Amino acid sequence: SQKIEQNSEALNIQEGKTATLTCNYTNYSPAYLQWYRQDPGRGPVFLLLIRENEKEKRKERLKVTFDTTLKQSLFHITASQPADSATYLCAPTDSWGKLQFGAGTQVVVTP
Protein backbone atom coordinates (compact mmCIF):
# COMPACT_ATOMS: atom_id res chain seq x y z
CA SER A 1 0.00 0.00 0.00
CA GLN A 2 1.04 3.61 -0.53
CA LYS A 3 2.72 5.07 2.50
CA ILE A 4 4.11 8.46 3.50
CA GLU A 5 6.54 8.87 6.37
CA GLN A 6 7.50 12.07 8.13
CA ASN A 7 9.52 12.26 11.31
CA SER A 8 7.01 12.18 14.16
CA GLU A 9 9.47 13.66 16.63
CA ALA A 10 9.43 17.43 16.95
CA LEU A 11 12.41 19.25 15.50
CA ASN A 12 13.80 21.75 18.00
CA ILE A 13 16.08 24.32 16.43
CA GLN A 14 17.73 27.55 17.40
CA GLU A 15 16.78 30.77 15.67
CA GLY A 16 18.97 31.47 12.66
CA LYS A 17 19.78 27.81 11.96
CA THR A 18 18.49 25.72 9.07
CA ALA A 19 15.70 23.25 9.73
CA THR A 20 15.59 20.18 7.48
CA LEU A 21 12.51 17.96 7.32
CA THR A 22 12.24 14.61 5.56
CA CYS A 23 9.34 13.07 3.67
CA ASN A 24 9.67 9.48 2.44
CA TYR A 25 7.07 7.68 0.36
CA THR A 26 6.76 4.07 -0.74
CA ASN A 27 4.94 2.00 -3.35
CA TYR A 28 4.14 4.73 -5.82
CA SER A 29 5.59 7.49 -7.96
CA PRO A 30 3.94 10.86 -7.42
CA ALA A 31 3.88 13.33 -10.26
CA TYR A 32 3.78 16.23 -7.79
CA LEU A 33 4.65 16.78 -4.17
CA GLN A 34 3.32 19.67 -2.11
CA TRP A 35 4.32 21.04 1.28
CA TYR A 36 1.91 22.73 3.67
CA ARG A 37 2.22 24.52 6.98
CA GLN A 38 -0.33 23.94 9.73
CA ASP A 39 -0.67 25.95 12.92
CA PRO A 40 -2.50 24.46 15.94
CA GLY A 41 -6.27 24.36 15.48
CA ARG A 42 -6.14 25.78 11.97
CA GLY A 43 -6.28 24.53 8.40
CA PRO A 44 -3.08 23.85 6.45
CA VAL A 45 -1.63 26.56 4.22
CA PHE A 46 0.10 25.75 0.94
CA LEU A 47 3.81 26.56 0.75
CA LEU A 48 5.48 24.92 -2.23
CA LEU A 49 4.91 22.45 -5.04
CA ILE A 50 7.62 20.47 -6.81
CA ARG A 51 7.16 18.33 -9.91
CA GLU A 52 8.72 14.92 -10.51
CA ASN A 53 11.03 16.34 -13.17
CA GLU A 54 12.31 19.09 -10.85
CA LYS A 55 15.19 18.51 -8.48
CA GLU A 56 14.82 21.64 -6.39
CA LYS A 57 12.41 24.52 -5.77
CA ARG A 58 12.93 27.67 -3.74
CA LYS A 59 10.66 30.32 -2.27
CA GLU A 60 12.21 32.99 -0.07
CA ARG A 61 13.78 31.10 2.88
CA LEU A 62 12.23 27.77 1.87
CA LYS A 63 13.80 25.09 -0.29
CA VAL A 64 12.38 21.77 -1.37
CA THR A 65 14.18 18.91 -3.09
CA PHE A 66 12.63 15.89 -4.76
CA ASP A 67 14.60 12.70 -5.32
CA THR A 68 12.44 10.22 -7.22
CA THR A 69 15.15 7.54 -7.02
CA LEU A 70 15.31 7.69 -3.23
CA LYS A 71 11.55 8.38 -3.07
CA GLN A 72 12.22 11.28 -0.80
CA SER A 73 11.62 15.01 -0.48
CA LEU A 74 13.56 17.31 1.82
CA PHE A 75 12.15 20.60 3.08
CA HIS A 76 14.56 23.25 4.34
CA ILE A 77 13.85 26.43 6.28
CA THR A 78 16.96 28.62 6.25
CA ALA A 79 17.62 31.39 8.79
CA SER A 80 14.75 30.02 10.87
CA GLN A 81 12.66 32.35 13.01
CA PRO A 82 10.32 31.70 15.97
CA ALA A 83 7.42 32.54 13.61
CA ASP A 84 8.36 29.44 11.58
CA SER A 85 7.25 27.24 14.49
CA ALA A 86 4.43 25.06 13.16
CA THR A 87 3.74 21.58 11.80
CA TYR A 88 4.81 20.96 8.22
CA LEU A 89 2.90 18.47 6.09
CA CYS A 90 4.19 16.64 3.06
CA ALA A 91 1.58 15.77 0.41
CA PRO A 92 2.51 13.75 -2.66
CA THR A 93 -0.15 13.03 -5.25
CA ASP A 94 -1.13 9.37 -5.32
CA SER A 95 -1.60 7.12 -8.32
CA TRP A 96 -5.04 8.61 -8.95
CA GLY A 97 -3.86 12.19 -8.68
CA LYS A 98 -5.26 12.84 -5.22
CA LEU A 99 -3.15 14.36 -2.48
CA GLN A 100 -2.04 12.01 0.28
CA PHE A 101 -0.93 13.82 3.43
CA GLY A 102 1.78 12.75 5.82
CA ALA A 103 1.21 13.15 9.56
CA GLY A 104 3.57 16.12 9.61
CA THR A 105 6.64 17.15 11.54
CA GLN A 106 6.45 19.81 14.23
CA VAL A 107 9.16 22.47 14.14
CA VAL A 108 9.94 24.53 17.23
CA VAL A 109 12.28 27.49 16.75
CA THR A 110 13.65 28.99 19.94
CA PRO A 111 15.15 32.49 20.20
Partner 1 sequence: DGGITQSPKYLFRKEGQNVTLSCEQNLNHDAMYWYRQDPGQGLRLIYYSQIVNDFQKGDIAEGYSVSREKKESFPLTVTSAQKNPTAFYLCASSIGATHKGNEQFFGPGTRLTVL
Residues that bind partner 1 (CB under 8 A): 4, 8, 31-32, 34, 41-46, 49, 51, 89, 93, 96-104
- To the nearest whole angstrom, how small is the minimum distance from the Cβ of residue 30 to partner 1? 10
Looking at the Cβ atoms of 21 and 80, the one nearer to partner 1 is: 21
- Provide DSSP, the chain: --EEEE--S-EEEETTSPEEEEEEEES---SEEEEEEE-TTS--EEEEEEETT-SEEEETTEEEEEETTTTEEEEEESS--GGG-EEEEEEEB-TTS-B-----EEEEEE-
CB of 98 to partner 1, least distance (A): 6
